[in-house]
Amino acid sequence: MERKDFALYNGEKDYVEIIKLMSDPRKFDINIDCLKLRRNVEEIYLPLTQQEIQLVKEHVSELIESDYIDEAEEVLMALVCIVETDINECLTALINKEYYRCSTIFKNASAEVRDLLIERIETEDGERHNILCALSLIGDQTVFNLFNEWKNNPPEWINELYKPLDNYSLVAGWQLSEDGKNKNLFSYDCYPIKKENLTSKDPEPLLLLEKFEEKCNWCGTTMTTLFDFMLSDKIFDSFNIHGRRLRIVTCHICSCYTTVYRDIDFDGNSTLSEFNQKPSYLPEINPEEESIISKNSLKISRNKRSYFYGLNNRFIGISASQIGGLPRWEQEPEYPLCPKCNNTMMFLGQLQGSDIVEFGAGIYYAFICHECKISATSYQCD
Ligand SMILES: [Zn+2]
Ligand SMILES: [Zn+2]
C-alpha cells in the first residue's frame, strides 16, 4: 500500500478517495480489507457533499463500464440506503449490461428505469426473479396495477418462477388484497437499535431483552421480553398502536423452532395464546444455563434511518436491529398469518443475534395483529 493511501485511512478526510480505494479491485490491497472491517460505512458516506456524491457516481459508472459489478453494487447500496440519492444513471447502465440481481438499489428508481425493467421482464428469461424483486421494491401504483394484472391474467412465464408472485412483494413488505389494493406490512418510520452505554435523562421509549416473569411451557427457560414499547412516546405515533405499553414476549429457544404467539393488550400484558403449537422438535437444553439476556446495552435511536436500510446485508458493522422499516430476511420472507383472523401480521421490529451475544447468529422478528391483539415472534438463521 502506498504511503499516500495509508494516510487516507489514518485521519485524512478525502472520503471519495477512500470509497474509490475500498471499491476498486484494481487497487486491491489486503490492508484495505482489514480497514473495511474497522471502518463504519456510515462514517464515510454520511459526510459526503453533493459534489463528492457526484464524483462517487462517476466512479461507479466506471466500475460498471469495466464490469466490476459487485463493487459497483456495493457503493450503490450505500448511496441508496445511507445517502438516499438518485442513482438512475447507474441503474440504467446496469440494466443495459443485464444486471438486476441487487434489487435493493432499485428502490427509488425513476419511472423511466421502472419502465425499462417492465420491458425487460418479457424477454429476460433467466433474470425474471431479480427483475420482479426490483419491481416489488419500487412498489408504486404502476407496479401494483401490473401485479394485479398478472394475478388475473397470468403470463406464460409465471410458471417458470420458483416462488408464487405474491412472495415477491413480501420482500418489499406489501401484498395485494382481494380487492386489488395493496396492504403495507410495516411502518415507514424506522429506528435503529444500537449498542449504547450513554444514559440519557429522558425516559427510554423502548426497553429490550428483559426477563419476563414466566417460564416457557415447552422448554422451561425463562421467557424474555424482546421489546417493551412505551407507547405514549411520540416516536411510535406512526405505528398506530394506541395505549400505554406493549410488551413483545418470546421464548428465545422455542421461537427458533416455531412461531410463538401471545395474547396482548396495550397496557403491557402478555399471556400464552391458545393458538400456540408446540414445535415438533426441541433440542435438549438445561433451562438454568440458557439466558438470552444481553450484556450489551442496546438502545433505540431517536434518529430515523431509511426504511429499507435493513434490507441489505453488505455493510460490515451495521446491524439489522431496528424498530419499524422493512425486515431483513435471512431466508425467504415469512410474515406470520394471524392465527385468529388469518390476515398477514404487521412487522414491528427485529433484533440481530450478534447484538445479543458475541458470535450470536440469525435474527429475531416481532409481529402484531392490532385487531386481534396477538403478537408473534420468530427467528431465521442464514
Ligand atoms: Zn421455550
Ligand atoms: Zn388477527
Q: What is residue 243's predicted lDDT score, i.e. its pLDDT?
A: 95
Same domain, 97 and 226: no
In this predicted structure, what is the pLDDT of residue 208? 94
- For 25-39, how does the pLDDT look when each residue is reduced to its tens digit (9 = 90+)? 777 666 655 555 456
For residue 231, the model assigns a pLDDT of 96
* CA-CA-CA-CA dihedral for 271, 275, 280, 286, to nearest 10: 0
Give me the residues of the chain with pLDDT under 50, please: 1, 3-7, 37
What does the pLDDT read at residue 3? 45
- 262-309 pLDDT, tens digit per residue, is 999 999 999 999 999 898 888 888 776 666 666 568 999 999 998 988
Q: Which domain holds residue 298?
A: 190-380
The Å distance, Cα 369 to ligand 2 centre, comes to 5
Task: Provide the domain count of the chain.
Answer: 2
**Ligand sitting nearest the alpha carbon of 340:** 2
Q: Which residues pair with 225 in a beta bridge?
A: 210, 249
**Cα–Cα dist 96/4, whole Å:** 36
The reply to whether 162 and 264 lie within a common domain is: no
Residues 87 and 205 placed together within one structural domain of the fold: no
Ligand nearest, relative to CA of residue 222: 1
Q: Supply the pLDDT for residue 11.
A: 55
Shared-domain flag, residues 80 and 8: yes
Expressed in angstroms and rounded, the spacing between residue 342 Cα and the centre of ligand 2 is 6
pTM of the model: 0.88
pLDDT of amino acid 1:
45
In this structure, the answer to whether residues 201 and 86 fall within a common structural domain is no
- The pLDDT assigned to 360 comes to 84
Q: Do 157 and 224 share a domain, yes or no?
A: no
Residue whose entry in the numeric block shows the C-alpha cell 400505554:
244
CA of 7 to the centre of ligand 2 (A): 57
- Ligand number nearest CA of 263 is 2
Q: Cell 402484531 identifies what position?
A: 368
Q: Out of 153, 182, 211, pick the residue that ends a domain.
A: 182
Give the ligand with the smallest distance to the CA of 256: 1
Give the whole-angstrom CA distance, residue 113 versus residue 99.
13
Tell me how far the alpha carbon of residue 216 lies from the centroid of ligand 1, in angstroms: 5
240 and 149 both lie in a single domain? no
Let me know: does 180 contact 166? Beta carbons within 8 Å.
Answer: no
Ligand 2 center to residue 239 CA distance, Å? 16
pLDDT of residue 315: 66
* Residue 306 backbone phi and psi in degrees, to 5: -60, 145
Query: What is the CA(353)–ligand 2 centre distance, in A?
Result: 28
C-alpha 189/C-alpha 305 separation (Å) is: 8
Query: 162 C-alpha vs ligand 2 centroid, how far in Å?
Result: 29
Q: Which numbered ligand comes closest to the C-alpha of 346?
A: 2
* CA 280 / ligand 2 centre spacing (Å): 24
